[in-house]
Amino acid sequence: MKEVKTPTSSSYHDYLISSLKDPEHAAAYIGVMLELEEGREPELLGSALKDIIEARLLSGNLSEEAKHHYEKLDKILSETGGNEIYTLIEFLDALGYRIAIAPKD
């Protein structure tokens, strides 16, 4: 019988979800998606938020309230393309500010 070795590495998605269980990593991930200057697409932000929700679900760290807010935000992003969020970011940038995402203590 031939010996079969199983792969020791996981997919990038598995690695990403695992890393997003860390609040610091998740905050940085959202921050990067909000700071993209070229090609801002609500799909990218929506995908990032979905990844964070998946990580929280896997770690058993997602409240019903957060789940409800995510569903509302996902609907808004799909309907408006995130124009409100990106307009706020552009406005703050014009004033010399930027949005920073940080985990709550």
Report how far Cα 12 is from the mean position of its chain's Cα atoms.
15
What is the model's pLDDT at position 21? Answer: 95
What is the model's pLDDT at position 33? Answer: 87
Tens of pLDDT, residue by residue over 4-51, are 555 555 699 999 999 999 999 999 999 988 887 665 677 888 899 999
What is the model's pLDDT at position 9? Answer: 56
Q: How far apart are CA 80 and CA 85, in angstroms?
A: 10
pTM of structure? 0.79
What are the angstrom distances between the C-alpha of 27 and each of 5, 10, 11, 23, 24? 36, 23, 22, 6, 5
